[in-house]
Amino acid sequence: MFDTMVITKTVAAFCGALLVFLLGSWVASGIYVARNADAPQAFIIDTGEDDDDAEPEVELTFEEAFEIADADAGSRLWSQCRACHALEEGRNGVGPYLHGVVNREISSVDGFNYSGALVQAGDVWTPELLSAFIENPSGVTPGTSMNYRGMSSVTDRANLIAYIERES
């Protein structure tokens, strides 16, 4: 079935198809590529996105953000905490309840087994310490058992802490 003539015809058909595709590519490049493709751009439209003269936005400090914090906006952020914490006093979940956590002593919830790393954080959960902890829990207290990636926005942290403080 596969004699020399069949193999020769197959190779010839493959080479012919390759030649047709190469010639087609050469013709298409000659027809559709602009002659002045390397010429400089004729005009530039300013979209305002590349404004190098604009002053960079200054990010608020936590204290400034906490003064103008919106507790209602923090209620939407609470959903990230709700899986492990509760706002009702005495109801521990995976994490301790957060009722009255602002200005409460660290590791002071009865019936909850805290990780030893929290003892080194400080004496009281001030809004500033809470903000730092929410931003990067393992950075503030290395070895903590809280498995949370953190909240980078200072405004979001201030809103969340204002919500927790309001609901307590």
Domain range annotation of the chain:
1-30, 62-167
The pLDDT of residue 2 is: 77
Q: What is the mean pLDDT of residues 143-157?
A: 88
Over 80: is that where the pLDDT of 10 sits?
yes
Mean pLDDT of the chain: 85
pLDDT category, 119, cuts 50, 70, 90?
low
The token pair that represents 100 in the structure block: 């009255």
φ/ψ (deg, to 5) at 142 = -60, 135
φ/ψ (deg, to 5) at 166 = -65, -40
Over 90: is that where the pLDDT of 33 sits?
no
The pLDDT of residue 20 is: 97
pLDDT category, 144, cuts 50, 70, 90?
confident
- Is residue 26 within 8 Å of 19, Cβ to Cβ? no
E strand or H helix that includes residue 72 = helix 71-77
The pLDDT of residue 115 is: 75
Instruction: Report d(CA 38, CA 112) in Å as an integer.
Output: 70
CATH of domain 62-167: 1.10.760.10
Name residue 70's amino acid.
D
